[in-house]
Structure 1
Amino acid sequence: MKFYSFHLMPYGALDLDYVEKHVSASLVLPNSYYDPQIGHQLYNRYLDELELADELGFDGVCVNEHHQSAYGLMPTPAVMAGALSRSVKRGKICILGRALPLLSNPLTVAEEYAMLDNITGGRFIAGFVRGIGVEYHATGVNPTYSLERFHEAHDLIIRAWTEEGPFPFEGKHYSYQYVNLWPRPFQQPHPDVWIPSGGSLETIRWASDPKRKYVYLNVYSNIDVACGLMDTYRNCAEAYGYTASSEQLGMALPIYVAETDAIARREAKPHIEAFFNRFLRMTNEMLLPPGYTSVSSLKTLLITSRETLMANHSLEAVDKLGMFLVGSPETVRERLAEFEQRLGIGHLCAIMQFGSLPHAQTKRNLELFAQEVMPHFRAKVTAGSCP
């Protein structure tokens, strides 16, 4: 299994009493809650933490995209990836990912990603997402066209990376007389593509298509739901006529390691509860606006969103559900081994800083996980078998 340090870069100084006046830390939370002096410190601190992960031997570092939110301060993740492209010396840099349907010009992402791929000498992973409902409210894009804009933007980017230009592109949403990418990607035919998702069935079927075989990365699902989604990917692959490997499956998961179970739980409790109950909090309308998804996918996504975004979570509850791993190195190793066996994943994006977790605890968390957990999973291969 390969390990990546995934940073959300939240506004860690958030006044958690905001819930007395506002329903979410996204979209409707006034930006008067943001202090640029604190933001300056947090951005640089968070970059330090990702650079430390690289020094400790993580296989890569990950950033992502969110808009108008205290939950994640990266509306333009390529800025963070660019800052890391010269300081991350060993691992890969992954953007998880750019929300393609929000873009008026998807070629800007083809260019950004190609630049990062060249700067890093091929140590770049391209992530594409549709984006959650908040992003559509924030940008004014009609969510009814989300899926078709995503597919069209994706096809344009892949053609721009792989076909000799200039050539014209005529689509329903995007039209260009000249597609002629400078620079071309360093990796040929193009960088690896990852597709993070909360559980859209259309996304899983599309990602597993033999023309793509993209990595499906599950986010914020409990272990039982995640297991079913991994099986869905494997079943789709079988229907297409091939067997999916663990290298095509991954999971993003907040993790906290300390010297003992008792210390880990005591230290993590206020921060993981703030993460789920304050930073992630939003209404279903914010997450899934009308027209965004199909009825079949909506059923799965509502289960995930109800558990993740609006419930009054305790550390004990999210730990039991498998939405958070916490404990001593031995405990985390045992639970992670269970996850690896059940899910059959080849990639783990570990969220080592969450919510208001301070730098000192984040640093120790990274060190203990890298030194006492990761080595036990190197070179192991499991097929995955959900009961």
Structure 2
Amino acid sequence: MRFYFFHLMPYADLDPDYDKTYPSSWVTLPNSFYDPVKGADLYHRYLDELEYAAALGFEGVGVNEHHQNAYGLMPCPNVFAGMLARRIPETAKIAVLGRALPVLSNPLSVAEEFAVLDNITRGRLVTGFVRGIGAEYHSLAVNPTESHERFHEAHDLIMAAWTRTGPFPWEGKHYHFPHVNLWPRVYQQPHPPVWIPSQGSRETVEFAADPARRYTYLQTAAPAATLFRTMQLYRDEAERRGYQASPDQLGWSIKLYVAEDDATARREAKPHIEAFANKFLRMPQEYLLPPGYTSLASMKGLIQSRKTITGGYRTMEQMLEQGTFICGGPQTVIDQLAEYQRRGGFNLVMAGLHFGTLPHDLTMKNIEIFAKQVMPALKDAVPGAVPRVAAE
């Protein structure tokens, strides 16, 4: 099992009573709730946490992109990746998971940013491409009905820029460049590894599993039942297209908390994971899934799974039962991760060891215990025969 430490960088000082007036921490929450002095302190604190995880032996650290919300203060993850590039050990990778291609106006800028990071890290960059969740389309005034086609064209343009000798013209439906001639070229050849995070859209799973790509698929923000289905869907799609998917092509992004024992872990984590679920992740369905954002079939599946994520007040106990949170002493966390791996067949874990309002001391404690007591016990764990589940 391979481990990355993932940070959302939320505005942890968010007034918890904001929801008495506003429906969500996304899109319409006034930025008067943000105190720049506190925010600056949080940025430095969060970078310290990412650097600490890298120093303790995680394979890599992960950052991502969200816009205009208190849930994640990283509208420009390339900036944070650049700050980390010279400060973390040269054994640690940096995963940018990922750039939200359809809501950005210039894919060549993304190609350039990633190429620079790939050179600075001498090939330790893991790139990620996402469509961005529905709220981003509200925030940045992008038509969600164009999401898929903008994503695919932007992806194809970036791949061409990385792998083709320039200059050459690009004339697509959404992007037009008379001269594509990337400087610098990417360090890793033919291009850096690509991971595709998703909430579980069928179209996204099939895109990642295509034999021309074989991108790593990373399941995010979903209960365990959805995780098992999407892992199976990827394997089925790979088999249908003529190859067998590797467990290293499958990953899970999951919030975790580990302490000295189960009782201590649950007591320390409970208020902070519930703040994450009920304050930071709070979002009306129309923000998450605007009309036209995804196909009808995927829409139905996502709505069903997201009822357990964004619908109603969620307790820590419910999240533990659903498999959207893992919490306990070291052996409990080891056993649960091993069981999820056995049933899901994945080999990558994107460990969200900070969430919501979890303070710095508990975050550092969580990182340390996880790195020193959980990771060593699972470093040789690989999926065996995975029990089959219905992919639909």
TM-score under structure 2 length normalisation = 0.98
Aligned residue in 2 for 1:346: 347
Aligned residue in 2 for 1:114: 115
Task: Please tell me the residue identity of whatever aligns with 1:25.
Answer: S
Q: Give structure 1 regions of 4+ aligned residues with deviation exceeding 4 angstroms.
A: none
Q: Secondary structure at the match of 2:264?
A: helix
Aligned residue in 2 for 1:61: 61
Alpha-carbon RMSD = 0.8
Aligned residue in 2 for 1:293: 294
Aligned residue in 1 for 2:6: 6
Gaps of 5+ in 1: none
Aligned residue in 2 for 1:160: 161
Aligned residue in 1 for 2:179: 178
How many angstroms apart in 2 are the aligned matches of 1:311 and 1:205?
31
Matches within 5 A, 1:81-230: 81-89=81-89, 90-230=91-231
Q: Secondary structure at the match of 1:373?
A: helix
How many angstroms apart in 2 are the aligned matches of 1:88 and 1:326?
27
How many angstroms apart in 1 are the aligned matches of 2:148 and 2:204?
9
| Cα displacement string for residues 192-250 of structure 1 (whole angstroms, at most 9, x for unaligned residues) | 00000001101111110000000000001111111011000000001001110101000
- Greater shift, 178-187 or 87-96, is seen at 87-96
- Greater shift, 373-382 or 325-334, is seen at 373-382
How many angstroms apart in 1 are the aligned matches of 2:104 and 2:322?
35
Aligned residue in 1 for 2:321: 320
Aligned residue in 2 for 1:74: 74
How many angstroms apart in 2 are the aligned matches of 1:347 and 1:61?
12
Aligned residue in 1 for 2:376: 375
Task: Please tell me the residue identity of whatever aligns with 1:249.
Answer: L
Gaps of 5+ in 2: none
How many angstroms apart in 2 are the aligned matches of 1:9 and 1:96?
13
Aligned residue in 1 for 2:267: 266
How many angstroms apart in 2 are the aligned matches of 1:63 and 1:227?
24
How many angstroms apart in 1 are the aligned matches of 2:388 and 2:262?
27
- Greater shift, 278-287 or 81-90, is seen at 81-90
| Cα displacement string for residues 96-133 of structure 1 (whole angstroms, at most 9, x for unaligned residues) | 10000011110000000000000000000000000011
Residues 205, 233 of structure 1: 8 Å contact kept: yes
How many angstroms apart in 1 are the aligned matches of 2:343 and 2:225?
9
How many angstroms apart in 2 are the aligned matches of 1:169 and 1:127?
22
Shift of 1:386: 4.0
Aligned residue in 2 for 1:42: 42
Shift of 1:379: 2.8
How many angstroms apart in 1 are the aligned matches of 2:63 and 2:283?
21
Shift of 1:306: 1.6
Residues 3, 347 of structure 1: 8 Å contact kept: yes
| Cα displacement string for residues 21-55 of structure 1 (whole angstroms, at most 9, x for unaligned residues) | 01000111111100000000000000000000001
Q: Secondary structure at the match of 2:66?
A: coil
| Cα displacement string for residues 53-73 of structure 1 (whole angstroms, at most 9, x for unaligned residues) | 001000000000000110000
Residues 338, 381 of structure 2: 8 Å contact kept: no
| Cα displacement string for residues 278-326 of structure 1 (whole angstroms, at most 9, x for unaligned residues) | 1000011000111100011111110222211132110100001110000
Q: Secondary structure at the match of 1:3?
A: strand
Residues 264, 327 of structure 1: 8 Å contact kept: yes
TM-score under structure 1 length normalisation = 0.99
Does 2:392 correspond to 1:385?
A: no
Residues 94, 127 of structure 1: 8 Å contact kept: yes
Task: Please tell me the residue identity of whatever aligns with 1:111.
Answer: E
Residues 198, 304 of structure 1: 8 Å contact kept: no
Shift of 1:180: 0.2
Shift of 1:352: 0.4
How many angstroms apart in 2 are the aligned matches of 1:170 and 1:254?
42
How many angstroms apart in 1 are the aligned matches of 2:388 and 2:256?
22
Residues 145, 291 of structure 2: 8 Å contact kept: yes
Shift of 1:327: 0.3
Shift of 1:380: 2.4
How many angstroms apart in 1 are the aligned matches of 2:315 and 2:382?
33
Q: Secondary structure at the match of 1:181?
A: coil
How many angstroms apart in 1 are the aligned matches of 2:190 and 2:387?
33
